[in-house]
Structure 1
Amino acid sequence: MIMPMRFDLDEFIRKLTDAGVPQRQAEAHAAALADVLEANPVATKADLVLLKAEILAEVQQMFDALYRRINRMFAVMMLLHLITLAKLFWPA
């Protein structure tokens, strides 16, 4: 589930003011950062695990389809080889 990132506004403001930023400016920075973090949600670890599972399932499906296609091509190649051998050794 994608969630907005949360952070401690008061702690952020305190760190800015401790570094010499005026209180009003620190509050404005904190409010702006809170708006950005709220508007741009981040993926959680569970989101990434789910995405990984979906990608792996899709890759497995593609691999299975490729494997079936290669097997069909091999069967056709063997059949053509047998026909060629039959024509060489058992002429009509």
Structure 2
Amino acid sequence: MTMPIKFDTLEYTKRLVEAGIPPDQAETHAHALLAALSESTVAPSELVLVRSDLTARIEMLRAEMAAKINELRMEMTATIDELRTEIAAKINELRTEMTAKIGELRLAVTAKIDEARLEMTAKIDEVRTEMSAKIDELRLEMTAEINELRTEMNAKINELRVKIEGLRTEMNAKFSTVYWMLGVSFALHAVTIGMLWKILDRLT
């Protein structure tokens, strides 16, 4: 007895995809197999054989795809390791180059700083010398003015002292005259009082 073959294309496609076949290719295979099977009939025993054969082929394809995937994984791992080694070498090379350039830049900057320090030190010394000269010049000028002012003030003080001595002498002379006049006045008053007492005595 023969019977039409019932074939689930979705299940077949799913199993092919699980085995690693791309979905579009798996779908094409499923439809092609469905078309081939729909044109004939097959006995149940033959169907079992076909199913076993298909299962074996799928398992074989799965194993083959797994081997391919493992091979690809190993190849990609080797490529990644090689790329990692190459990148590490490039990084080390770049690090060495950058270290050299940083050292060179550090030396250049240090030289510039030393040069600027020397230049600024020279300018500071120049300004210090100039300011010291200005200060010494100002000190001499102020000392001369102070000495001149001291001389002038001493002259004025001496002049004032002479005037004070003259005024004292003049005042002493005037006081002597006043004292003499007071003495004469007291003497005249004493004589007058004595005469008045004598007159009073005579009258009594």
Q: Which amino acid aligns with 1:31?
A: A
1:80 aligns with 2:160: yes
Matches of 2:149 and 2:165 in 1, distance apart? 24
Unaligned ranges ≥5, structure 2: 1-98, 175-204
Deviation by residue 1:3-33 (Cα, 9 ceiling, x = unmatched):
xxxxxxxxxxxxxxxxxxx654543433333
Matches of 1:29 and 1:80 in 2, distance apart? 77
TM-score by length of 1: 0.53
Unaligned ranges ≥5, structure 1: 1-21
How many pairs were matched up?
70
Q: Which amino acid aligns with 1:71?
A: T
Equivalent residue in structure 2 for 1:38, among 116, 126, 130: 116
TM-score by length of 2: 0.28
Report the counterpart of residue 59 of structure 1 in structure 2: 139
Matches of 1:26 and 1:55 in 2, distance apart? 46
Q: Which amino acid aligns with 2:170?
A: W
Deviation by residue 1:44-71 (Cα, 9 ceiling, x = unmatched):
6x83555433332221111101101111
More helix per residue: 2
Higher relative contact order (CA 8 A, sep 6+): 1
Runs (4+) of structure 1 exceeding 2 A deviation are 22-33, 35-40, 46-55
Matches of 1:31 and 1:23 in 2, distance apart? 12
The sequence identity of aligned pairs, in percent, is: 13
Matches of 2:104 and 2:135 in 1, distance apart? 42
Q: Which amino acid aligns with 1:83?
A: K
Matches of 2:103 and 2:135 in 1, distance apart? 43
CA RMSD of aligned residues (A): 3.1
Q: Which amino acid aligns with 1:52?
A: S
Q: Which amino acid aligns with 2:120?
A: P
3-state DSSP class of the match of 2:145?
Answer: helix
- More divergent stretch after superposition (34-43 vs 65-74): 34-43
Q: Which amino acid aligns with 1:29?
A: R
- CA shift, 1:82, in A, is 0.6
